[in-house]
Amino acid sequence: MVAPPPPREEIVGAPPTQGYVWLGGYWNWVGSRYEWVGGRWSAARPGYHWVAQHWVREGDGWRMKAGHWARS
């Protein structure tokens, strides 16, 4: 598997309502290539922060770590 492309620049407008946070997009491996998954708004979780999904090098390949909410 080749390294993922650099993240795309996304235009982020105002949240749909107060208390929402932007969860940025990411490259997902589908079949034999990367596909962009666009970001989205999500209701904030008090006491938590969003840890974005990201790719890490493992040996001669790449592995995606899933995004998740973590305690602040």
User: Cα(65)–Cα(51) distance, rounded to whole angstroms?
Assistant: 10
Residue 4 — pLDDT band, cuts 50, 70, 90?
very high
Q: Tens digit of pLDDT for each residue in 18-59?
A: 999 999 999 999 999 999 999 999 999 999 999 999 999 999
Per-residue DSSP letters for 14-48? --SSTTEEEE--EEEEETTEEEEE--EEEE--TTE
Q: Name the token pair of 67.
A: 């995004």
Residues 6+ positions from 54 with CB-CB distance below 8 Å: 26, 64, 65
